[in-house]
């Protein structure tokens, strides 16, 4: 009986194996707009920007975004996809693939042999590094648009014709040759220079005088105020605007003897300690300079202490909630836009950030501009609204199938994580 069961199951083994092997190596078909994004991580902003680039450049870009590579090597996967999709125009053979695995936190820019001539590994590493802050904030539109724009920058530099650099110099030489044929009086130049020099010197003198007046006026006003404050700070001064030692503009002077100063503060503390005192500098039981007095009955004192205890408890609860929120946002796996990183002020150390993860993060941070890294205002793709009519592009009709005829992908490019 056992032998019979084995004979029946044996064909199923041979059927299952080829199916699973085929699934492992299956490459998705190239979408019409060049963006494979089954989980819809990006919006039309990316497809519009990509369509604009590919329709105006001799380089062609494709985008491949998945949740995970299921343990596959992103370098090998990106190379296979780039070859299968045949990224690149037939006449230039310059193709680039942006491959991203969201949950693996890995991405790669794969280049064809022709594209790698101006998109070196160092250039690609720089592009990937500048995109990490977007990826960490889950701003996938901003990250990909940033990559496209940086690729466009290197493409533009590569495509600048050498003859254009020299043609302007030739034109200027011809113009100078024509000008040299005119007769010019050297003395006329001297007169013009002298007149201009005189006018410049006069303007500088006037400007200097105005600047000196502007700079000096505050000091003058301050000196006048000091003289006025000194008169009002005299102990014998009886005006309603008299200044006392508790006033910020008070000018210390000999009329305020030590005994007078001591008595002033004694009476001031006593007055401010009254229950009926309404000033913002009122003193309460428990304050350092509070003077015990009969206006604070035992009932009033007890009510005040209970109120302060409740306020303190509320403050402690608020602080506790803030710390809990900061700890939650400091977790390595936290995906919110308000995530805290090891270099953030409110970051709280925790076990999810291992020593290796922190070292890698700080290394990535030091390799790029810190101000651009966390910027909170990295509203990346809003900056592209000024580009020519991005919304007019239809992502479903970016290119015809004949545009995809590139090849020659021999492993150029670079990878990274965030």
- Side-chain half-sphere exposure of 197, counting CA atoms within 13 A: 6
- Rg for the chain, CA atoms, rounded: 38
How is residue 98 written in tokens?
Answer: 């942006």
DSSP one-letter code for 418: -
pLDDT of residue 3: 55
pLDDT of residue 182: 47
pLDDT of residue 381: 36
Query: Could you report the per-residue pLDDT of 195-236, keeping only the tens digit for each?
Result: 677 888 888 888 888 888 788 778 777 778 777 888 899 999
- Structural domains in the chain, sorted by start: 35-159+378-417 (3.10.310.50)
Is the distance from CB of 97 to CB of 407 less than 8 angstroms?
A: no
Compute the distance between CA of residue 109 and CA of residue 360 in angstroms, rounded to an integer.
20
Contacts (Cβ under 8 Å, ≥6 apart) of 359: none
How is residue 115 written in tokens?
Answer: 């594209």
Q: How many CB atoms lie within 10 A of CB 406?
A: 27
Stated pTM of the model? 0.41
- Structural element, H or E, at residue 165: helix 162-179
β-bridge mates for residue 97, sequence order: 62, 110
Compute the distance between CA of residue 27 and CA of residue 23 in angstroms, rounded to an integer.
9
Compute the distance between CA of residue 254 and CA of residue 235 in angstroms, rounded to an integer.
9
What averages of pLDDT result for each successive group of 10 residues across the chain (418 residues)? 54 47 65 91 92 90 93 91 88 90 94 88 92 92 94 79 46 43 55 73 85 80 80 92 92 94 94 94 93 95 94 94 95 94 93 92 73 44 37 42 62 85
Query: Could you report the per-residue pLDDT of 339-377, keeping only the tens digit for each?
Result: 999 999 899 999 999 999 998 888 888 776 544 545 443
The side-by-side arrangement of strands in the sheet containing 35-36 is 35-36, 59-66, 94-101, 106-111, 412-417
pLDDT of residue 140: 94
Compute the distance between CA of residue 328 and CA of residue 347 in angstroms, rounded to an integer.
10
Compute the distance between CA of residue 409 and CA of residue 387 in angstroms, rounded to an integer.
31
Provide, for the chain, the percentages of residues in helix, strand and coil under a 3-state DSSP scheme, each rounded to the nearest 5. Answer: 55, 5, 35
β-bridge mates for residue 279, sequence order: none
Tokens 């919110």 belong to which residue?
336
């Amino acid at each position: 009986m056992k032998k019979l069961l084995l004979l029946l199951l044996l064909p199923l083994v041979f059927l299952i194996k080829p199916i699973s092997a085929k699934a492992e190596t299956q490459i998705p078909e190239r979408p019409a707009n060049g963006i494979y994004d089954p989980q819809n991580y990006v919006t039309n902003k990316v497809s519009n920007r990509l369509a604009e680039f590919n329709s105006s450049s001799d380089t062609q870009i494709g985008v491949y975004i998945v949740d995970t590579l299921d343990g596959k090597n992103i370098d090998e996967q990106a190379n296979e996809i780039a070859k299968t999709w045949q990224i690149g125009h037939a006449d230039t053979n310059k193709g680039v693939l942006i491959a991203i695995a969201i949950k693996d936190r890995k991405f790669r820019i794969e280049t064809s042999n022709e594209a790698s001539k101006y998109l070196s590994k160092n250039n690609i590493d720089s592009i990937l590094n500048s995109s990490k802050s977007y990826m960490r904030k889950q701003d996938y539109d901003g990250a990909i648009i940033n990559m496209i724009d940086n690729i466009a920058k290197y493409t533009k530099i590569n495509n600048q014709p050498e003859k254009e650099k020299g043609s302007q110099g030739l034109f200027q030489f011809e113009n100078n040759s024509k000008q040299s044929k005119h007769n010019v009086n050297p003395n006329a130049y001297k007169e013009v220079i002298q007149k201009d020099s005189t006018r410049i010197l006069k303007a500088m003198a006037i400007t200097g005088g105005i600047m000196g007046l502007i700079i000096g006026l505050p000091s003058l006003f301050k000196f006048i105020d000091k003289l006025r404050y000194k008169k009002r700070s005299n102990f014998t001064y009886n005006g309603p605007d008299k200044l006392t030692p508790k006033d910020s503009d008070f000018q210390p002077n000999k009329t305020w003897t030590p005994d007078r100063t001591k008595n002033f503060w004694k009476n001031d503390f006593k007055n401010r300690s009254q229950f009926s005192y309404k000033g913002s500098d009122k003193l309460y039981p428990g304050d350092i300079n509070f003077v015990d007095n009969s206006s604070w009955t035992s009932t009033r004192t007890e009510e005040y202490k209970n109120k302060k205890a409740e306020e303190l408890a509320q403050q402690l609860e608020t602080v506790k909630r803030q710390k809990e929120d900061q700890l939650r946002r400091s977790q390595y796996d936290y995906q919110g836009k308000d995530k805290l990183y090891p270099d953030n002020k409110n970051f709280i150390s925790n076990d999810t950030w291992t020593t290796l993860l922190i070292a890698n993060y700080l290394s990535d941070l030091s390799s790029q501009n810190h101000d651009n890294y966390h910027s909170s205002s990295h509203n990346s793709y809003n900056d592209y609204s000024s580009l020519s009519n991005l919304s007019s592009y239809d992502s479903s009709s970016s290119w015809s199938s004949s545009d995809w005829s590139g090849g020659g992908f021999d492993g150029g490019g670079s990878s990274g994580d965030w």
